[in-house]
Chain A
């Protein structure tokens, strides 16, 4: 029966369906695409661009038709492909993880690596680290945090202010920034963690906005919208990466010619190390009572309470630990840029990080890397289309979710096996 249906595609229905979609597209396009407001001396005038409406309708018609045809003819194989994707055996994922780490370490030495690429990878790694940090909160503990960027901002400003006012070095400020973010995490988390999932989401979103508004308006401390400039750059055991500095310089110490590339590479390895630390921590804590309690809480809070777990402490620990990684990433961001302003910590950042976690498949460390490359990397490479970049970004978020609602890689490995086979014992997936 199904086979017979497949032999005679319902072309008429498809055509009608596509035509309908085209009509809707035209309706949507008429007011906003077909007419453009133009500012003139005398006020607003209109610029009619009705052909655009036709193009939009035609594009939707063709796209819809192609999709239905493709769905009809390719459906079985297409579905198989998507299902087989997460069914990779456990060991192959570990191998992929180590290969990725090796590739990341070796990459700057490859012939094709140039400064620009390493710079972009550094940016991607910041998001990978943030994704891995937020995954502790969202993926493991199941707490929906829409204001994660607030902790990132706190880390960045903590470093900038501590180094500016007290002359503390990056390496001293780094743990302090993490601690500071964790403290804020506790302060926010304590009152609100009793709330149900979506309420928590909106409160964290509000918290993110509060932090941004305060940064924007507390002129005396944060210098408001102008931000903080001239933030101390990091050193390698006291070796500066500047051309000339008060102390020893990296180039001078090793007797090599100064090059600004050194700092770019150094920052790359620094964020790589921070990110790997995050994932190793996450891997390890997942196998500890603390991590198991987070996952249990995500599964069923009432059952957790019936077993003697204090849900507030469990949630708070996840929230604070997740926040502290954002704090670390924030101070790295500050030292990399040398300049921070509230603009860098808007809601869109929180949304991006959350999207990375969800697209990656909640809990999958490699999935998060993939998602970060997709969501942060690709738009970076298409910077020439600057105008369309965010449009593509948003569209990609929707499309990937539609394609794989459970995320790119979503298989969960048990944290403990009754009789672990010696081969896989103690192995961690980076």
Chain B
């Protein structure tokens, strides 16, 4: 038996219907604290929908999504609006098609992510308007936090550029940095390697392992790059047509015949990468 706090996220019987279409049916899985849990599956399997339910952008039709913090505090995510999931339960996500504040600078993106803490420090703008030291100090701390992530992501040189003008790979990293600045307990990454080249993907996997080690973070990952998934995840959940067809450690999933058959008929390289498990 593991102690209760080891389970970070418990998803029970999650079902999501849009009109007559069932995008997810009766999905249950758990994510352990400190793990990298990957959700994989062919296109249209309902992976992003799971994320949208978890982060409150969709209201699940049926199901229970329970998140437990280290201190034992529990959150029922299906009952919370999206912004409260990020603010109180500290579940922060990135998006499949990057959503940056394109017209603002890279640094501003990272400072905005610390909005909640900074707003409190600015005394809901009053202390800020009066330019009180308490706010100035908080802002300096926010910038230092941002600088840490800029350095880590190799974005320091572009700090004052418009986020929208960055190259694609940089934008992906900036989005992760921004999510980290919001102080997540659970970081949900929606296809972070999409559109990256081989070298960038390698860097990404190193980075994710590194973040987890240093910040004691748990990561939920949607990814099509099987090599990346097999390399870094501790636990893999395989979705097909909205249902879980297999879950377990990467080695088990890789050998599961149901998984292989689900992937046949989808792009070949994915199926091949899946069986080989490496590039």
* A residues at B contact (CB < 8 Å): 281, 284-285, 287-290, 292-293, 295-296, 298-300, 302-311, 412, 414-418
Please report the C-alpha to C-alpha distance between residue A304 and residue B83 in the assembled complex, in whole angstroms.
8
User: Interface centre among B83, B92, B111, by most A CB within 10 Å?
Assistant: B83
Q: Beyond the given A293-B119, A414-B107, could you list 11 further A-B residue pairs with CB under 8 A, ordered by the A residue number?
A: A290-B119, A295-B104, A299-B103, A304-B112, A305-B86, A306-B99, A307-B112, A307-B179, A308-B116, A418-B150, A418-B159
Task: Tell me the smallest distance from the CB of B104 to a CB of chain A, in Å.
Answer: 6
Q: Which residues of B contact A290 (CB under 8 A)?
A: 119, 122, 124-125, 128
Q: Which residues of B contact A288 (CB under 8 A)?
A: 122, 125, 128-129, 135
With A303-B99, A308-B87 given, is the CB distance from A414 to B105 under 8 Å? yes
Please report the C-alpha to C-alpha distance between residue A103 and residue B229 in the assembled complex, in whole angstroms.
65
Asked if residues B129 and A285 are in contact (CB atoms below 8 Å), the reply is yes
Residue of B nearest to A311 (CB): B83
B166 interface hit (Cβ, 8 Å): no
Please report the C-alpha to C-alpha distance between residue A281 and residue B100 in the assembled complex, in whole angstroms.
27
17 contacts between A and B (CB under 8 A): A287-B128, A289-B115, A289-B119, A290-B119, A293-B115, A293-B119, A295-B103, A299-B101, A299-B103, A304-B112, A305-B56, A307-B86, A307-B113, A308-B84, A309-B115, A310-B83, A418-B156
B26 interface hit (Cβ, 8 Å): no
Q: How many chain B residues touch the partner (CB < 8 A)?
A: 46
Asked if residues B99 and A300 are in contact (CB atoms below 8 Å), the reply is yes
Please report the C-alpha to C-alpha distance between residue A306 and residue B87 in the assembled complex, in whole angstroms.
9
B225 interface hit (Cβ, 8 Å): no
Which of A284, A306, A414, A416 is B93 in contact with, Cβ under 8 Å? A306
Q: Which residues of A contact B135 (CB under 8 A)?
A: 288
> Which chain B residues (161-219) contact chain A, with CB distance < 8 Å?
178-179, 182
Asked if residues A302 and B57 are in contact (CB atoms below 8 Å), the reply is yes
Which of A281, A414, A418 is B147 in contact with, Cβ under 8 Å? A418
Asked if residues B125 and A414 are in contact (CB atoms below 8 Å), the reply is no
Please report the C-alpha to C-alpha distance between residue A412 and residue B40 in the assembled complex, in whole angstroms.
41
> Which chain B residues (78-116) contact chain A, with CB distance < 8 Å?
82-84, 86-88, 92-93, 95, 99-105, 107-108, 111-113, 115-116
Which of B84, B95, B112, B160 is A293 in contact with, Cβ under 8 Å? B112
Q: Which residues of B contact A310 (CB under 8 A)?
A: 83-84, 87
Task: Tell me the smallest distance from the CB of A190 to a CB of chain B, in Å.
Answer: 16
Please report the C-alpha to C-alpha distance between residue A417 and residue B160 in the assembled complex, in whole angstroms.
6
Residue of B nearest to A292 (CB): B112
> Does more than half of chain A's interface fall in helix, strand or loop, or is it mixed?
helix
With A285-B125, A414-B104 given, is the CB distance from A309 to B83 under 8 Å? yes
Please report the C-alpha to C-alpha distance between residue A412 and residue B99 in the assembled complex, in whole angstroms.
20
Please report the C-alpha to C-alpha distance between residue A311 and residue B178 in the assembled complex, in whole angstroms.
18
Q: Which residues of A contact B160 (CB under 8 A)?
A: 414, 417-418
Asked if residues B150 and A296 are in contact (CB atoms below 8 Å), the reply is no
Q: Which residues of B contact A305 (CB under 8 A)?
A: 56-57, 82-83, 86
Q: Which residues of B contact A418 (CB under 8 A)?
A: 107, 143, 146-147, 150, 156, 159-160
What 5 A-B pairs have minimum CB-CB distances, sorted nearest first?
A: A308-B87, A308-B86, A299-B101, A418-B159, A288-B128
Asked if residues A292 and B55 are in contact (CB atoms below 8 Å), the reply is no
Residue of A nearest to B88 (CB): A308
Q: Which residues of B contact A293 (CB under 8 A)?
A: 112, 115, 119
B118 interface hit (Cβ, 8 Å): yes
Please report the C-alpha to C-alpha distance between residue A393 and residue B21 in the assembled complex, in whole angstroms.
53
Asked if residues A415 and B108 are in contact (CB atoms below 8 Å), the reply is yes
Please report the C-alpha to C-alpha distance between residue A273 and residue B247 in the assembled complex, in whole angstroms.
67
Q: Which residues of B contact A304 (CB under 8 A)?
A: 83, 112
Residue of B nearest to A303 (CB): B99
> Which chain B residues (16-66) contact chain A, with CB distance < 8 Å?
55-57
Q: Which residues of B contact A414 (CB under 8 A)?
A: 104-105, 107-108, 160
Which of B82, B101, B118, B159 is A300 in contact with, Cβ under 8 Å? B101
